[in-house]
Amino acid sequence: MAILVQKFGGTSVADAEKILAAARKAIRAQKQGYQVVTVVSAMGHTTDHLIELAKQIDPDPPAREMDMLLSTGEQVSVALMAMAIHRLGHRAISFTGAQLGIRTDSTHTKARIRSIQTDRIRQALDEGYIVIAAGFQGVTDTADITTLGRGGSDTTAVALAAALRAETCEIYTDVDGVYTTDPRLVPEARRMSRISYDEMLELATAGAGVMHNRSIEFAKRFSVPVHVRSSFSDMPGTLISWMPESRSVPVCGAAAILKEARITVRGVPDQPGNAAAIFSRLGARNIATDMIVQNVAEGGRADISFTVFQEELPAALRVVEETAREIGAEGVNYDENVAKVSVVGLGMAKQPGVAQRMFQALADKGINILMITTSEIKISVLVERDRAVEALRTVHAAFELDKEPPQAEEEARPEELGNDRDRIIGRLHGMEDLVIESICLDETQACVTLSNIPDRPGLAARVFRQVAEREIVVDMIVQSVGRDGKAMMSFTVPQSSYEAALAACRPFCQEIGAAPPTGRPKVAKLSILGTGLKSHIDVASRTFKTLAHSQINVEMISTSEVRLNVVTTGDKGRQALTVLRQEFAEELLDL
Ligand code: ADP
Ligand code: ASP
Ligand code: MG
């Protein structure tokens, strides 16, 4: 009999009536012939209230006790849900994470699932019960309760669907699907009928709170179709699955993280190892970094800027200030009133001018771009927080995301998937272990750097307009604000376009009083491809550290969920490839 996993989020089980409505959905699925596993979240805002309560007692509560506390929210819901099904005349049994056999590591409040023992669930299903599973929680090998991170019930649901080889995982929530952006922030947002795993993964990490990003890692890794739908209606929803890489639209969605903070370490002695020290110490404290940009400053020193979640700023600053002193940097500054706006799309890799279109739209509204990073399927900009929602709405309009795409797109499974999937699953020690598909080297690119550009709205748009007018294809872009309000920007172009790119920028630099463009006619770009490269936050710091050990300087870096790119000097490409393959040998599939 086919298994169906259904997950109900907090608002979908917020009161008794809603719990009964969810129970009816589970019963209906059982009547349709499925064995049903229902994953539930804590009721309404329970988790928020529990966190508030804890903070009234201790602003920085012990993580183990936090998990003990937070897991109670889901325990209430499973019991009530089982009672509801019982009341409606059907059989149901509730289980906590421990009873479900969800084993995790011991990273309290952000634990990763290692394994799921499905025997007890299967037995209950075979006996005709609807199984009610507590979302968001697990247990360590030493029987300590853990939680998976905010929004983690999605991950419980997809992981259970994977472990039980369920037909589909249905996510019931308070919106009727995945929208082109958060419909609460941008009313023009449009529901998508389908979206690919990679796009959803990037959107989720970029701030689309509708799905927990790690749930999509599971879905992709184990090929679980995920169907996001409304708890309150029978609308068709959104299917998250495989899609062709050549999508006709360049951008499928936009997202924002409104509470980010920028940290800059100023005047870092420009030696391999210094950047690695900063990021590995942050990684060791489990603080994720994003949008990393290095500005080459004068006198053999560099400024390194990156963003963290605002709530992690105090902890990050403690680590960074100490490290800055040790490596002899000049100082640390930060800005906590910033937000990140991103656009995502599989189609952008094949279509030039996407970044320029985004920058131009923001320029037309006078919105200043503080930082830029790009990867193959995502462009992110940092803006002032009070302009962020406007920026999100602006880019949504610029890519006409409110309009239905011209052609319907079908599911397309990669052909080699069957083998790959079994090979991946066969090698995993833990279900959420890092898996890297390949590490590759691109030696065809050059890099152009513009420094001392006045930090004004519209400059990025102008640079890329000049470049686009000469039909130069731009690959990676990084920009950040340097000293005295002057920005620095680097981007890569094909080596054959290097001179043309310099020539395109020269008059513009002269006109705005910036230094003449510089660059390297040949650089090496290394790409690490996999799934969950960002949520496994040590991938970036291991990359930095490995390259530093071999005295290889990282000139540019961009991180996304499915790809981490680093640019080094042209002569170091082969060596960098070798050392990175050694470093990630255990996780690398194509060795
Ligand atoms: P649940 O409690 O069911 O897990 P969440 O609050 O976690 O629900 O997720 C649903 C919310 O996600 C929606 O109410 C919506 O405001 C927000 N959201 C953010 N981005 C998107 C998006 N791209 N599509 C749909 N909803 C989104
Ligand atoms: N209750 C948890 C939270 O609010 C988990 C979830 O709802 O997915 O984050
Ligand atoms: Mg959620």
- Domain regions of the chain by residue span: 3-174, 255-405+420-583
CA–centroid distance, 580 to ligand 1, in Å, is: 37
Tabulate helix, strand, coil % of the chain (nearest 5): 40, 30, 30
Residue 425: the pLDDT is 60
Task: Check if 10 has its Cβ closer than 6 Å to any atom of ligand 1.
Answer: yes
Coil, helix or strand for 289? coil
Q: Are 73 and 107 in contact (CB under 8 A)?
A: no
Residue 272: the pLDDT is 81
Task: Check if 8 has its Cβ closer than 6 Å to any atom of ligand 1.
Answer: no
Q: Which atom of ligand 2 is nearest to the CA of 74?
A: 1
- Residue-wise pLDDT for 10-67, tens only, equals 999 999 999 999 999 999 999 999 999 999 999 999 999 999 999 999 998 999 999 9
Q: Does the pLDDT value for residue 415 go beyond 60?
A: no
Q: Does the pLDDT value for residue 143 go beyond 60?
A: yes
Encoded amino acid at 580, one letter: L
CA–centroid distance, 9 to ligand 2, in Å, is: 7
Encoded amino acid at 85, one letter: I
The residue contributing the CA closest to ligand 1 atom 6 is 210
The C-alpha atoms of residue 362 and residue 394 are separated, in whole angstroms, by 7
Q: Which atom of ligand 2 is nearest to the CA of 149?
A: 9
Residue of 201, 208, 211 whose CA lies nearest to 156:
211
The C-alpha atoms of residue 344 and residue 201 are separated, in whole angstroms, by 10
Q: Which atom of ligand 2 is nearest to the CA of 73?
A: 1
The residue contributing the CA closest to ligand 2 atom 5 is 151
538-549 and 274-284 are packed helices; what angle lies between their axes, rounded to 10 degrees? 150
Mean pLDDT of 386-410: 90
Task: Check if 47 has its Cβ closer than 6 Å to any atom of ligand 1.
Answer: no
- Range in 206-210, 268-272, 582-586 the model is least confident about: 268-272
Q: Which atom of ligand 2 is nearest to the CA of 153?
A: 8
Mean pLDDT of 385-408: 93
- Cα 281 to chain centroid distance, Å, stands at 21
Q: Going by DSSP bridges, is the β-strand pair 35-40/130-134 parallel, antiparallel, or unpaired?
A: parallel
Q: What is the DSSP string of 212-224?
A: -HHHHHHHHHTT-
CATH number of 3-174: 3.40.1160.10
Q: Which atom of ligand 2 is nearest to the CA of 212?
A: 8
In the block, tokens 């499973």 appear at 78
Residue 162: the pLDDT is 94
Please list, in sequence order, all residues whose beta carbon lies within 8 angstroms of the beta carbon of residue 193, skipping any fewer than 6 positions away: 177, 236, 238, 239, 408
Q: What is the mean pLDDT of the chain?
A: 93
Residue 445: the pLDDT is 97
436-446 in b/e form (b: 16+ CB < 10 A) is bbebebeeebb
The C-alpha atoms of residue 187 and residue 177 are separated, in whole angstroms, by 14
CA–centroid distance, 8 to ligand 3, in Å, is: 9
Q: Going by DSSP bridges, is the β-strand pair 92-95/130-134 parallel, antiparallel, or unpaired?
A: parallel
The residue contributing the CA closest to ligand 1 atom 11 is 210
Query: Best mutation site among 19, 48, 173 for ligand 1, i.e. most ligand atoms within 8 A of its Cβ?
Result: 173
The residue contributing the CA closest to ligand 1 atom 3 is 9
Superfamily of domain 255-405+420-583: VC0802-like (3.30.2130.10)
CA–centroid distance, 345 to ligand 1, in Å, is: 19
Mean pLDDT of 369-395: 96
CA–centroid distance, 338 to ligand 3, in Å, is: 24
Residues with CB under 6 A from ligand 2: 9-10, 41-42, 47, 73, 135-136, 150-154
Q: Are 542 and 588 in contact (CB under 8 A)?
A: no
- Residue-wise pLDDT for 223-258, tens only, equals 999 999 999 999 999 999 998 766 788 999 999 999
Residue 299: the pLDDT is 76
DSSP character at residue 433: -
Residue 139: the pLDDT is 98
- Residue-wise pLDDT for 309-367, tens only, equals 999 999 999 999 999 999 999 999 999 999 999 999 998 988 888 999 999 999 999 99
Residue 247: the pLDDT is 73
The residue contributing the CA closest to ligand 1 atom 1 is 9
The C-alpha atoms of residue 371 and residue 480 are separated, in whole angstroms, by 4
Alpha helix (H) residue ranges in 145-295: 153-163, 197-205, 213-221, 274-284
Q: Which atom of ligand 2 is nearest to the CA of 136?
A: 5
Task: Check if 179 has its Cβ closer than 6 Å to any atom of ligand 1.
Answer: yes
- Range in 81-85, 167-171, 291-295, 386-390 the model is least confident about: 291-295
CA–centroid distance, 50 to ligand 2, in Å, is: 11
360-396 in b/e form (b: 16+ CB < 10 A) is bbbbebebbbbbbbbbbbbbbbbbebebbbbbbbbbb
Q: What is the DSSP string of 466-501?
A: HHHHTTPPP--EEEEE-GGGEEEEEEEEEGGGHHHH
Residue 422: the pLDDT is 60
- Residue-wise pLDDT for 292-305, tens only, equals 998 776 678 889 99
Q: Are 213 and 561 in contact (CB under 8 A)?
A: yes
The residue contributing the CA closest to ligand 1 atom 17 is 210
Q: How many CA atoms lie within 13 A of 562 on its CB side?
A: 20
Please list, in sequence order, all residues whose beta carbon lies within 8 angstroms of the beta carbon of residue 314, skipping any fewer than 6 positions away: none
The residue contributing the CA closest to ligand 2 atom 4 is 47
Ligand nearest to the CA of 12: 1
Residue 278: the pLDDT is 94
Task: Check if 210 has its Cβ closer than 6 Å to any atom of ligand 1.
Answer: yes
Q: Going by DSSP bridges, is the β-strand pair 563-569/556-559 parallel, antiparallel, or unpaired?
A: antiparallel
Q: Which atom of ligand 2 is nearest to the CA of 48?
A: 4
Q: Are 488 and 479 in contact (CB under 8 A)?
A: yes
DSSP character at residue 385: G
In the block, tokens 């049994």 appear at 93
- Residue-wise pLDDT for 424-462, tens only, equals 666 567 889 898 999 999 999 999 999 888 888 898 999
Q: Which atom of ligand 2 is nearest to the CA of 154?
A: 8
Q: Are 480 and 487 in contact (CB under 8 A)?
A: yes
The C-alpha atoms of residue 254 and residue 185 are separated, in whole angstroms, by 11
Q: What is the DSSP string of 9-34?
A: -GGGGSSHHHHHHHHHHHHHHHHTT-
The C-alpha atoms of residue 419 and residue 437 are separated, in whole angstroms, by 13
CA–centroid distance, 552 to ligand 2, in Å, is: 42
Please list, in sequence order, all residues whose beta carbon lies within 8 angstroms of the beta carbon of residue 8, skipping any fewer than 6 positions away: 22, 38, 39, 40, 41, 81, 172, 231
Mean pLDDT of 250-267: 96
Task: Check if 209 has its Cβ closer than 6 Å to any atom of ligand 1.
Answer: yes
For the entire predicted model, the pTM comes to 0.95
Query: Best mutation site among 11, 18, 19, 182 for ligand 1, i.e. most ligand atoms within 8 A of its Cβ?
Result: 182
Residue 535: the pLDDT is 87
CA–centroid distance, 148 to ligand 2, in Å, is: 9
Q: Are 91 and 122 in contact (CB under 8 A)?
A: no
Residues composing the chain: 591
**pLDDT range class, residue 591, cuts 50, 70, 90:** low
Q: Cα separations (Å) of 578 from 537, 546, 591?
A: 22, 10, 11
- Residue-wise pLDDT for 176-214, tens only, equals 999 999 999 999 999 999 999 999 999 999 999 999 999
The residue contributing the CA closest to ligand 2 atom 9 is 150
DSSP character at residue 42: P
- Residue-wise pLDDT for 495-523, tens only, equals 999 999 999 999 989 998 888 999 999 99
